[in-house]
Amino acid sequence: MSKWLILLLGLSLQQAYAQRSKYPDVLNLRTNPPKGQNIATNVFSDMGAWHAYALPQQPADNGAFIGPLVMGMQGAWLSDAFSRLELIENNQRIDLAAARANAHYFPGMLMQQLVIDQLEIQQQLIFVSGREALLHTHITNKGGAVRTLDVRYVGQSRRRVTVNKESGVLQSGGFVIVFPGDVKLSADSFHYRASHPGVSIAPGASYAQTQVQAYYPDSVYTPALYDLNKALAENERRWNGYLDRYFSGAPMLTAAQQRLAVKCMVTLITNWRSSAGDILHDGVFPSVNYQGFYGVWSWDSWKQAAGIVTFHPELAKNNIRAMFDYQDAHGMVADCIYADQRENNWRDTKPPLAAWAVWEVFLQTKDTAFVKELLPKLVRYHNWWYANRDHDQNGLCEYGSTDGTRIAAAWESGMDNAVRFDSAVMLQNKEGAWSLNQESVDLNAYLYAEKIYLHQLHTVADEKASYSEQAAKLGAIIRNKFYDKQEGFFYDLQPATGKLVRVDGPEGWIPLWAGLATQDQAKTVLGRMSDPKKFNTKVPFPTLAADHPAFDPMKGYWRGPVWLDQVAFATTGLRKYGYKKQAAKFEKQLLENAAGLLTDAPISENYHPLSGKGLNAKNFSWSAAHLLMILKNK
């Protein structure tokens, strides 16, 4: 087969894949109305909106979408279903629970179709901005006689409801619904009714109504008008564009892998929050399903950006900008930021992967202006590490904190309760700067890689820099000081004693990801990674070797579960040293054995390495981002 025929075939397949209608229900959004503070259900949001919906599961909710879930500093369900369709004919309510129902979630759209008593009802819900969604109802008379209906929407809120009858605007907290002008509104404390009485529908004719549903977390609502057909066309064009961009770089995926890729995209888009309050650029939450994750984290953002740029470059750029909006005068980037900046965490930062993220964005976009915009900030952040986290000023850094607490220092590693830090103590460097008494191999490998990326970014910006020379020097030190020849693995180092911290964890293969290990070192590291007693588990690469006494995936967080960023770092590192078959084998184990990845189940924060069970938060952003990168390795 000629290369041109292969290219044409690839383009044809790409165009076929890039149609969102081919990917219904990649994530199961069907649910019963949630009770209490439960926000663990799968939901649909889009365009950075701060509210979300789900599909109904039981017939009693036919004619409604579940929600909305509204999000600020935490998530809360405003209602079980705030817009319930009711049809009244001859003073009798048509029982929509008895209708033949068909509901689906397509990327970017919820759809519900009901058929009852020769009436066909279709409802579509799409987002049109970072604040507003459209709910469209279309009722067709399939019978042979005129039907006269009272078309109503009713709802109950957990916040007081007020209406403006003249403007057709209903408000409940920061949530707003704008009804068409011919709809009559009434409200009583926490209930409302929006009614269009006496609607006559001739045989074969239809009735249509479009309402705007919006949530404004930080501003006063100004009603907007939308052309429905234009909005639907733009919604489809945008989502097909996401798919086209991604699949153009991954044309050989299986059908199941294609659906996983789309599930990753919808996960990231649902976790996207547009700028609001003190979040100055659009960012991505780690998970909409966990209250503690209603903010934007730094190393989450770097990883998310590297995955998101494969289908939505502008969001990837803004996710990086959102964190650097709060870079302080010394160059530090906060651990996490919130819509209320008083909650921002300045006790620590996170591992330095920002230059890698900017480089990944540049590779996909060739946006030199973005590189020039971020480069001075990246340099200040890089220099901050050596000014604040190098206790003995020997060119090797430690994780630490600004408040002197060991817990914040462990957080700074990102591996919050990793066993390698169990015996570490704090050392003060200067006012507001503390280090663990432990030079971490992953941190210094990240800094090595950052020097390489900074050199490349300076070249893109047509500026001179000496980072490649610095990287060569640092790489030699890491190879000599952090590698244990007897064990064949990399470990943290205690500089005061010269002893290595011999705990087998994923930090040991980060030198391969950074590309600083020798070929012989990579070979021995692969040997340890391939050991079924240590890292070659059912779902590969747990965060602590399976034969360690403290291995406890169900309670351990970073003491056993498999995190997908560490899997991606592992296989990327193996490929750099020519171990492509081994990397592909490990990725195949992950995709096939991590529960639910190839089904309509949510993507988990991490996975049990022995059972494959999904653990901790659902619909986790950096898991989705790294899966997008892993799938492109095919």
Q: In this structure, what DSSP letter does residue 81 have?
A: B
pLDDT of residue 66: 98
If one compares 119 and 33, the residue with the highest pLDDT of the two is 119
Output the average pLDDT for the chain. Answer: 95
Instruction: Enter the pTM of the model.
Output: 0.96
Residue among 10, 26, 22 at smallest CA distance from 265? 26
**Euclidean distance between CA atoms 48 and 50, whole angstroms:** 7
Q: Tell me: the pLDDT tens digits for 361-420?
A: 999 999 999 999 999 999 999 999 999 999 999 999 999 999 999 999 999 999 999 999
pLDDT of residue 279: 97
User: What is the average pLDDT across 415-432?
Assistant: 97
Say if CB 196 and CB 102 are below 8 A apart: no
pLDDT of residue 135: 98
Structure tokens at 586: 């490990």
pLDDT above 70 covers a percentage of the chain that reads 97
pLDDT of residue 15: 53
Q: Is 596 left (phi over 0), alpha (psi -120 to 50) or beta?
A: left
Residue 575 has pLDDT above 80, yes or no: yes
If one compares 180 and 396, the residue with the highest pLDDT of the two is 396
Q: In this structure, what DSSP letter does residue 34 have?
A: P
pLDDT of residue 16: 56
Q: Are strands 562-563 and 604-607 parallel, antiparallel or unpaired?
A: antiparallel
Confidence of residue 12 (pLDDT cuts 50, 70, 90): very low
Q: Tell me: the pLDDT tens digits for 478-535?
A: 999 999 999 999 999 999 999 999 999 999 999 999 999 999 999 999 999 999 999 9
Q: Tell me: the pLDDT tens digits for 269-311?
A: 999 999 999 999 999 999 999 999 999 999 999 999 999 999 9
Name the E strands within 448-491.
Answer: 483-484, 489-490
**Euclidean distance between CA atoms 455 and 167, whole angstroms:** 58
pLDDT of residue 313: 98
Token match 């022995």: residue?
A: 610
Instruction: Give the Å distances, CA to CA, from 78 to 123, 251, 434.
Output: 20, 42, 44
The SS3 of residue 167 is coil
Q: Tell me: the pLDDT tens digits for 551-570?
A: 999 999 999 999 999 999 99
User: What is the average pLDDT across 140-145?
Assistant: 98
Sheet holding 92-93, edge to edge: 92-93, 84-89, 147-156, 191-201, 184-188
Residue 230 has pLDDT above 70, yes or no: yes
Q: In this structure, what DSSP letter does residue 483 have?
A: E
DSSP secondary structure, 581-596, as one string: HHHHHHHHHHHHHSTT
pLDDT above 90 covers a percentage of the chain that reads 92
Residues in the chain: 634
pLDDT of residue 124: 98
Residue 98 has pLDDT above 70, yes or no: yes
The reply to whether CATH 3.40.50.720 applies to domain 3-223 is: no
Structure tokens at 407: 């817990």
Instruction: Give the Å distances, CA to CA, from 544 to 411, 553, 572, 586, 609.
Output: 17, 9, 19, 17, 10
User: What is the average pLDDT across 256-277?
Assistant: 98
Residue among 276, 277, 294, 274 at smallest CA distance from 285? 294
pLDDT of residue 219: 83
Sheet holding 562-563, edge to edge: 562-563, 604-607, 614-618
In degrees, to the nearest 5, what angle opens at C-alpha 148 toward C-alphas 146 and 149? 140
Instruction: List the domain boundaries for the chain.
Output: 3-223
Confidence of residue 35 (pLDDT cuts 50, 70, 90): confident
Query: What's the number of CA atoms in the CB half-sphere (13 Å) around residue 4?
Result: 0
Confidence of residue 118 (pLDDT cuts 50, 70, 90): very high
Residue 14 has pLDDT above 60, yes or no: no
Residue 432 has pLDDT above 70, yes or no: yes
C-alpha 110: how far from its chain's center? 20
The SS3 of residue 434 is strand
